[in-house]
Structure 1
């Protein structure tokens, strides 16, 4: 997965948008529905070599993924209990990366108020077979 594919996939998720709170080189993908604050689910310098993305992850799964895949580590400058840094150098299948992005998105959206989840038309993406 390259930077363009990463951006396209993140922006394909309901309510997702790209923001640049850390400067013009660092994309932060957030979700917002309603008037509440936007919540981030993915962060990446899309032009970096190697390309990496930081993704939210359930803590037990985060530890399991890191133990099995050397491309997955604790995310730099984020709470390593809840965020993984994923190196996108081709060692991980794109389908796995997409699944991790969807999981990150789901973890963020499930904590939004019910009316915001409904406005997004959200159901766990993994359950939809997306």
Structure 2
């Protein structure tokens, strides 16, 4: 899944457009509820080494809220990392470029949306 596919999903499923709150970081997009303004996702492009990856170049990620009791087991899956720049007890970082399937990413996005409602 790439960022455009993710934004298409969020637009069609929740009626939400990405928000770009930081002029200094124009690629960072926040996904937030229209009514309470709470975030349920942060989409960014970061250097792979920030996640401990050995590959060169940037990686497309999304930070998602999850139930604290699931954080440990989720982080054992390839493509899921401790949250980058977020509370690591409640948030995870997921690489959008795989190895998770689109369906797995959609499920995590849906859960994050529900948890922040």
Q: TM tier, shorter chain?
A: 0.7 to 0.9
Q: 1:13 is matched with which residue?
A: 13
TM-score, reference length from structure 2:
0.80
Q: 1:37-76, aligned counterparts within 5 Å?
A: 37-45=36-44, 49-67=58-76, 69-76=77-84
Could you say which structure has the larger radius of gyration? 1
Q: 1:122 is matched with which residue?
A: none
Query: 2:3–2:96: 8 Å Cα contact kept in structure 1?
Result: no
Q: Which runs of 5+ in 2 are unaligned?
A: 48-57
Shift in CA distance, 10/90, structure 1 to aligned 2, threshold 3 Å:
same
Q: 1:120 is matched with which residue?
A: none
Aligned length: 105
Q: Distance in 2 between matches of 1:97 and 1:28?
A: 16
| CA-atom RMSD in angstroms | 1.9
Q: Distance in 1 between matches of 2:63 and 2:95?
A: 9
Q: 2:88 is matched with which residue?
A: 80
Q: Secondary structure at the match of 1:45?
A: strand
Shift in CA distance, 47/73, structure 1 to aligned 2, threshold 3 Å:
closer
Query: 1:11–1:29: 8 Å Cα contact kept in structure 2?
Result: no
Query: 1:62–1:83: 8 Å Cα contact kept in structure 2?
Result: yes
Q: 1:95 is matched with which residue?
A: 103
Q: Secondary structure at the match of 1:50?
A: strand
Q: Which runs of 5+ in 1 are unaligned?
A: 110-130
CA drift of 1:75 comes to 1.1
